[in-house]
Structure 1
């Protein structure tokens, strides 16, 4: 994995960033390597990785390409929740297909007026007797342009005073789906981000995931695992920045010596190494709890909060150590600095992570 990622993906990721083109070209290779099957049970042809192994793999991928890492993270958290919550007679069929490059998954929660607060969800579903009809618009959807499957949070009409939240699996080939690429992103430019409009999209009844009114619960389980994935993406970025800092500090000379010998630079490198190690420890702790069936929201939020904010600090230091060179596209840390920024935003902002942690401690 490391040989492939560092040998092939670093240069490709640089190209996607400059051209703002999708990393879709490597999906067939990811399929061959089994990386689209990380969270798919062995019974459906997958690898069925434990969370600790999964996090380590995402870290290695993100070191080379944060865009590929987030693509895999989103796809895998969908396959993971489907393996537990989808209708029993559908799981095997769906999951076996989702290990293929042409069956990429997306997680469609966010809307223009509903990001951190799911109570603002306006995408609606109404019963058709033998299924559901969905209308609405989802925003900031990773993998949105290529996805075959959308795990979608909707509000069921007639399911209570304002309608109950439900999670539904939408086939991307259905009539009434419109996809629009979001352009001009600061970073992670090789990852697809799209607006998904749903116009009278019909799905069968057994595409309901987790039961009526359980959309919030299913979403929380999915995001709990997803946050460990994003934390791992962040540590991959952070380690790449740290390695770039160390190497540059060895060869860049000022005042007759390598800049790494100056205490100010040495302190930045040391602080970054400590923060990276702490991030990995928090991820390992959260992953162990998930693997032991004792997952709790605060642990994953702690890992996500600390690792992503640490990655941003480490990326900042990497640019600082590189000086003027760190400010131009020619230098990789310039891109990593931009890539790190979104990790404190998606899969729950840092502010939401602090809220989740504090709420968990009060209970």
Structure 2
């Protein structure tokens, strides 16, 4: 009987050690794969957030689920309450997200196509059409920068400026212009300087804009050159290898700017980086918006990240009707992006102190 108990105890011990080891391996595997789309709200007992929770422990706006049964008006009321809480920068959270993004996607080394991360004859696989390839030729290779811009990160205080109607009459322009590095999305109109500022360092464009707003550059090209010139010395980013349909309009834009605005640096997103980033946020189940993509990029490359113009609701903080964009009321294309879910994740990052989300008027 005694020996039977000893043998049973040894088996139990071996089993326990095996299970514990397996759990540790799974945790390490999860961390290395950095599926940080599962980011969760901070809890009252987390030391890094204790000061925020002392002031705002009742502000439990979002559940960990992406869908909410609350109506828009109730959500806006609660978001307003959260924005009245004192925001506190959390360098621990910033560094954690920066490390996770660097390990899974590496914007500093692979965000843009460059001569250092490509070679002539390389088959570039389109981000969203993985069976389609583009063979990099000598001509396009020569147009690429020698190295990836901003490959050392450390861009300092960054502002990512969305185009939401919440920016209208916000008087945020002066505050935005104080940033060291300013990112704008989809070449927006710049004649709202008091609300959006005047400076730009990086601006994106959607190929659909080239097709719809500039007639695919098949006719007069100067309106396009003139529009891009509004952003001064800013670099322009083309998502040439997102879909095969993006290839031709992006090439036309590239050649047009080489002739009409040779000082404008044109950058091409690396499809491998974009695919990796989309994979890490696959929980959203829809295509990432430009704003969410460049927020992720800023989290890796910047020391501080401030967001403006991110607002998925048709009402402002006072529950008054709001245009979709600060410059027009054209609605978003349905079922393409998961805007409310993206905003939820941005709120979580705001509460963690990893970035600061600015909604409503800016204080002076």
TM-score between the two structures when normalised by the length of structure 1:
0.29
Pick the structure with more helix per residue.
1
- Structure having the higher Rg: 2
Pick the structure with more strand per residue.
1
TM-score between the two structures when normalised by the length of structure 2:
0.29
